[in-house]
Amino acid sequence: MRATVMYGAGDVRVEDVPDPSLREPTDVLLRITRACICGSDLWPYKSMEPVGETGDGARMGHEFIGVVEDVGADVGTLAKGDVVVAPFVFSDGTCDFCDEGLHTSCRHGGFWGAGDVDGGQGEAVRVPHADGTLVKLPVAEDDALMASLLTLSDVYATGHHAAVNAGVAPGKTVAVVGDGAVGLCGVLAAKRLGAEQIIILGRHEDRTSLAREFGATDVVAERGKEATAKVRELTGGDGCHSVLECVGMEDAIVTAIKIARSGGSVGRVGVSQVPSIPLSMESFRRNITISGGIAPARAYIDELLPDVLEGRIEPGRVFDRTLPLDETPDGYRAMNDREAIKVLVRP
């Protein structure tokens, strides 16, 4: 089959790899019908050391929808022909962490593309622990809702995780740091949870315009101290009850803490690019709660799915480019060069 493989910074290829096969009785084989490129895929795209002529590249992709093609003997909830969405981490659904809603810490789980597990940017994938991982979708494989359903795999679930960890609630003021796909989904999540005022911090007009359509009430294009001053001006001098940090860089984390209201919360979901959280004394002094991390998407899908199916939210609008699988490397380039917000891939 064909799949996406990264061999170093800027070196993404689509090439032939071995076809997946059932290995465990809890596996299923999935024919992938939709996948996408994640903002987190851009970190290795910028920095990965070349593997060399004899090294194995990294199998890429962790967000996908597909159709079940074969089922292991112990799989009880899925059948051939089912259309399913895969969270970006596989999990057994039965361990204590899964029971607590923290599927990303599953004792028997793991990440797509790691070890002998296929990546999601390809034609097919072997899914371990299929009963605990996959969510059946009550739609056909070419349903018009596919783009929005795909966001449940990661990007919208991650925006929701930021909102939950930041304590977004009806009547609260919210700021979202970052106008990428996760930040935009954070705006949508904050609106869904009833926020009264939603401020998006971003400088790209196409993205902030979409943020307004998703529910943002204000746009702050400034950065650093100027951004802090502007947000405080918009919030009567106090800052925001809830701040969603959707970037992961030090300046974004600093801004998030600076614009939080005393007693407020910062929900961090940007993949951290710093060894420690800055401004520890300021956050301590002002009683700012900082929480978040990798989103347990599987725990949120059942809650978020009805709003997508019924058309109340359209997170799939973050996809502004669709490419065939063989053009996936150009999708990486387009996202890295900020020519696209998020690229959908069709194998």
Residue 60: count of CB within 10 angstroms of its CB: 26
- 89 three-class SS: strand
So what's the pLDDT on residue 261?
Answer: 98
So what's the pLDDT on residue 94?
Answer: 98
So what's the pLDDT on residue 273?
Answer: 87
Please determine, for residue 54, whether its predicted confidence score (pLDDT) is greater than 80. Answer: no
Q: Which 8-state DSSP code applies to residue 74?
A: T
What is the CATH number for 40?
3.90.180.10
Q: Which residue in this structure is represented by tokens 């930021």?
A: 162
Q: What angle do CA 316, 36, 122 make, to 5 degrees?
A: 140
What is the CATH number for 274?
3.40.50.720
Please determine, for residue 254, whether its predicted confidence score (pLDDT) is greater than 80. Answer: yes
Residues 38 and 49 in one domain: yes
Residues 169 and 25 in one domain: no
So what's the pLDDT on residue 87?
Answer: 98
Percent of the chain with pLDDT over 90: 97
Tokens of 295: 């989103």
Interhelix angle 181-192/155-165, nearest 10 degrees: 60
- 248 three-class SS: coil
CA nearest neighbour of 250 among 208, 286, 280, 289: 280
- Can you give the residue range of the structural domain that contains 102? 2-154+296-346
Q: Which residue in this structure is represented by tokens 């969510």?
A: 135
Residues 35 and 137 in one domain: yes
Average confidence score pLDDT of the chain: 97
* Mean pLDDT computed over 217-224: 97
- 172 three-class SS: coil
Please determine, for residue 53, whether its predicted confidence score (pLDDT) is greater than 90. Answer: no
CA nearest neighbour of 1 among 150, 125, 88, 116: 125
So what's the pLDDT on residue 331?
Answer: 98
Residues 188 and 307 in one domain: no
Tokens of 48: 């990965």
Please determine, for residue 124, whether its predicted confidence score (pLDDT) is greater than 90. Answer: yes
Residues 258 and 135 in one domain: no
Tell me how far apart the alpha carbons of residues 346 and 328 are, in angstroms, rounded to a whole number.
Answer: 9
pLDDT, tens only, 14-38: 999 999 999 999 999 999 999 999 9
Domain boundary among 269, 292, 315: 292
Please determine, for residue 70, whether its predicted confidence score (pLDDT) is greater than 90. Answer: yes
For 185-225, the three-class secondary structure string (H helix, E strand, C coil) is HHHHHHHHCCCCEEEEECCCHHHHHHHHHHCCCEEECCCHH
Residues 163 and 90 in one domain: no
pLDDT, tens only, 84-113: 999 999 999 999 999 999 999 999 999 999
Residues 150 and 18 in one domain: yes
Residues 18 and 89 in one domain: yes
So what's the pLDDT on residue 112?
Answer: 98
* Integer angstrom CA distances of residue 32 from 36, 85, 98, 325: 11, 10, 25, 11
Residues 172 and 32 in one domain: no
Residues 216 and 270 in one domain: yes
Tell me how far apart the alpha carbons of residues 329 and 332 are, in angstroms, rounded to a whole number.
Answer: 5
So what's the pLDDT on residue 275?
Answer: 87
Domain count, the chain: 2
Residue 201: count of CB within 10 angstroms of its CB: 32
So what's the pLDDT on residue 55?
Answer: 79
pLDDT, tens only, 260-302: 999 999 999 999 888 889 999 999 999 999 999 999 999 999 9
- Per-residue pLDDT band at 52 (split at 50, 70, 90): confident
Residues 148 and 163 in one domain: no
Tokens of 330: 């150009």
* Mean pLDDT computed over 328-347: 97
Residues 118 and 262 in one domain: no
Domain boundary among 248, 277, 292: 292
